Each structure stands twice: as C-alpha cells, then as structure tokens.
C-alpha cells in the first residue's frame, strides 16, 4: 500500500483550550488547557520523531482546540522548520488571530492555515461557532492571508442544517479566490454526537455535487467521506450518475452561477484513511488512527510514533482493508475503505462498515448509465 511506510500528515492536537464553543467540535474543546498536555520539550521530541520517518517528512498539522492558546507555538513552528518538517496550523478565528499573528505564522515557515466556514450566512455561522462576529472575522482573515501569500484552506462540516447551502458556500469561496476547500462529513463524536447528520442518500448527492464543483478550479478534498472516490471513479468513466432531486437542485444552482464547467475534476480517485496516510497525536500524547477515531494505540511518551504507525496490527489491518460486512466485500474497498471513524462511532468496530455510504445502507446503489451532466 502507498502509505505503509509513512503517513503524509501527522495531526497534533496541541491543546484542548479554545475560545470558541462550536456545536460540532470533535475535541470538545474547553476554555483552559487540561493537565498533562505535552510540554515544549515533548513537542520538540515529537517533531524529531516525525522527521525520522524519512524525507520528505510527513507534514505536521498543529491543531486543537486552538493552537494559538499554546505560548510556545511559534517556538515549535520554528523548530519544525529547522528540522525540515513542513507544518500547517488550524487556528480558531478569535481575537487572538490578528494580522500580526498571521505575519508570524507565515514567517515561521507554515505552509498553510485552515479556517472553518460552515454557512454562507453570518448569523448561522456565528450560531454554529457560538460567538458573534466570527463570520466577519473569518472573511477578513481569508483576505489578509491572501494579501501576504499565506496558503489558506477553508473547512466546512456538512450537517442537516447547512446541506442546502453548499452551492452558496462554494460560490462565496470561488468569489474570494480560495483555492482549497476541505469538506468534512460529520462524525457523531465529541459535541458532534448531538448534531443532526444527513442520510446516506444525501451524502451521495453531496459527493456528486462536490465532483461537479471540483471542475471550477478549486481543489476539493473530503474528510471522513472516502466513498467520494467511488463516485469520482464512476463519474469519470461515465458509468453512473446520481438522479436524486436534492443533487439536481444543487447542480442547477452551481451551473446557473458559473455556467457549465470546462476544467478537469480535482476529486482524486485515491487518498487516505485514518491510519492509512494519516495519524493523530492527542494533547496528552495518545496516538490514534485519526482525530475522529478515538482508538488508543499507545502514547508517544512510551512508544515510538514511527513504529506504531508502521507495525500496529490495527493500522496494518486498515491498510490491508481487513474490514467486515459491506465495506469488506465492496469492489471499491481499495480506493475507498469507508470511514473508519464513522464505523467505530456507529458500532464500536474499527473494521465495520460505513453507514453513510449508499452501498451499505441500501440494497444496491442507484447507478445508471450517465446521459448528461458536467
């Protein structure tokens, strides 16, 4: 498998502390740091281990909580830069995220930052983030980051409350010349356990919409929705299309705004899974397959991250697609594999099936010969 030897991304939950209280927060972030967070020296030791994966080293993503709540963040960023480890930062949009801080992030060698935008309406985004003014500050941050040539990625979590807004969110990003949109498919874990998810059929509509949207010059990636790679494969070969009304409405809204697309889709037919191309380190050093998959694989204080990633039997099984049920027998399992986080959240079985996939939840997918479309 392509990611047997090393991941491409290591996510480090630098802290649980965050000034926001988002309704769907995976980390269940809180106002103040928890006891037991990795120290500065332990953080540097983690960076050393990441560099030992070999060149090029995996990218380390400083996430949280809000990594800006760590007083040593810039010391750690500089250390990573000096070790030749590329880094990205996922800050909360708060009063801490000033133009001066963005300048320091850029000068620290950070490849990109990621910001969240979960609605095209300011009031709704602020309600999701539970803090007034967050939408406007996010838009200001996007524009300033672009003005200093700091790479930027926008993250959107798909929920029942915003699924119909996806074309408008895409249009907003397109008009702001955002180049990367990462769409998170909800996992009912953390505070997200209380958020209403969408159905498997609606996820299929979203996947087809995102495939269409990726033909307008924005790189689109999906988190915890690997079945979009099946959709991309079928759409690219013109073996299938999706005919549900909600998809057709989203598609029509897209085309009415931007006309028919002319660019090759950016949705990849290959990618990562939790434990297969990515690995996660929590605030206290606990290693997990991914941030949404709370399966403890050990702790970096006592185990070598490289050895865990390469040799832990659970991760080896994920990379070899040793799954149960529909995900185990699916003809697309090599390119997809289903969300391990969602399988675990729904059944406590790391190798179970992904209930957001239409091939799992229905007797068979509605795949037809494609008569039209972008």
Determine, yes or no, domain membership for 371: no
Residue 350: inside a domain: no
> How much is the pTM?
0.92
Q: Note the pLDDT of residue 12.
A: 98
Burial class (CB in 10 A: 0-12, 13-18, 19+), 267: buried
C-alpha distances out from residue 8 to 3, 153, 280, Å: 8, 17, 12
> Residue 2 domain-assigned?
no
pLDDT, tens digit (0-9, with 9 covering 90-100), for 358-369: 999 875 544 544
Asked if residues 214 and 220 have their Cβ atoms less than 8 Å apart, the reply is: yes
Token digits of residue 218: 């924005």
Q: State the number of CA atoms in the 13 A half-sphere of 300 facing the CB.
A: 30
In eight-state DSSP terms, residue 269 is: S
CATH number at residue 100: 3.20.20.70
Let me know if residue 322 belongs to a domain. Answer: no
Containing domain of residue 43, as a range?
A: 9-258
Total domain count for the chain?
Answer: 1
Confidence of residue 296 (pLDDT cuts 50, 70, 90): very high
Structure tokens at 369: 């010969």
Of residues 63, 18, 118, the one with CA closest to residue 281: 63
Mean pLDDT (whole number) for 134-153? 96
Coil, helix or strand for 372? coil
Nearest 10 degrees: Cα torsion 246, 247, 249, 254? 150
pLDDT per residue as tens digits for the range 312-340: 999 999 999 999 999 999 999 999 999 99
pLDDT confidence of residue 183: 97
Q: Is the residue at 362 inside a domain?
A: no
- Domain-embedded: residue 209: yes
292 in any annotated domain? no
The overall average pLDDT reported for the chain is 91
Three-class HEC string of 105-162: HHHCCEEEEEEECCCCCHHHHHHHHCCCCHHHHHHHHHHHHHHCCCEEEEEEEECCCC
pLDDT category of residue 193 using cuts at 50, 70 and 90: low
**In the chain, what percentage of residues exceed pLDDT 70?**
91
The rounded distance, in Å, linking the Cα atoms of 36 and 132 is: 31
Read off the pLDDT of residues 213-255 as tens digits, 9 standing for 90 and up: 999 999 999 999 999 999 999 998 875 578 889 999 999 999 9
pLDDT of residue 192: 52
Asked whether residue 62 is assigned to any structural domain, the reply reads yes
């Amino acid at each position: 498998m392509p990611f047997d030897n090393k991941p491409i991304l290591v996510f480090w939950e630098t802290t649980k502390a965050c000034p926001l209280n988002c309704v769907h927060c995976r980390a269940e972030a809180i106002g103040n740091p928890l006891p037991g967070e990795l120290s500065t020296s332990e953080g540097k030791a983690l960076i050393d281990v990441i560099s030992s994966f070999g060149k090029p080293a995996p990218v380390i993503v400083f996430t949280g909580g809000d990594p800006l709540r760590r007083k040593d963040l810039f010391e750690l960023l500089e250390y990573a830069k000096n070790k030749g480890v590329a880094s990205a930062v996922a800050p909360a949009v708060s009063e801490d995220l000033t133009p001066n801080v963005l300048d320091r992030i850029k000068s620290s060698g950070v490849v990109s930052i990621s910001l969240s935008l979960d609605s095209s309406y300011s009031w709704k985004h602020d309600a999701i983030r539970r803090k007034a003014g967050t939408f406007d500050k996010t838009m200001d941050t996007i524009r300033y980051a672009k003005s200093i040539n700091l790479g930027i990625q926008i993250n959107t979590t798909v929920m029942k409350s915003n699924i119909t807004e996806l074309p408008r969110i895409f249009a907003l990003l397109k008009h702001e010349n955002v180049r990367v949109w990462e769409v998170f498919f909800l996992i009912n874990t953390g505070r997200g356990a209380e958020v209403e998810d969408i159905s498997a059929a609606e996820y299929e509509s979203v996947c087809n919409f995102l495939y269409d949207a990726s033909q307008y010059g924005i790189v689109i990636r999906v988190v915890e929705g690997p079945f979009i790679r099946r959709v991309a494969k079928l759409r690219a070969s013109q073996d299938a299309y999706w005919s549900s009304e909600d998809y057709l409405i989203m598609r029509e809204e897209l085309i009415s705004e931007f006309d028919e697309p002319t660019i090759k889709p950016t949705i990849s037919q290959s990618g990562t899974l939790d434990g297969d191309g990515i690995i996660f380190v929590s605030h206290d050093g606990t290693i997990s397959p991914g941030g949404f998959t709370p399966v403890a694989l050990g702790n970096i204080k006592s185990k070598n991250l490289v050895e865990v990633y390469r040799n832990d039997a659970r991760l080896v099984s994920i990379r070899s697609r040793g799954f149960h049920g529909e995900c185990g027998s699916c003809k697309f399992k090599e390119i997809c594999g289903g969300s391990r986080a969602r399988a675990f959240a729904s059944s406590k079985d790391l190798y179970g099936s992904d209930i957001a996939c239409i091939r799992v939840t229905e007797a068979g997918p509605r795949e037809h010969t494609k008569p039209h479309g972008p």
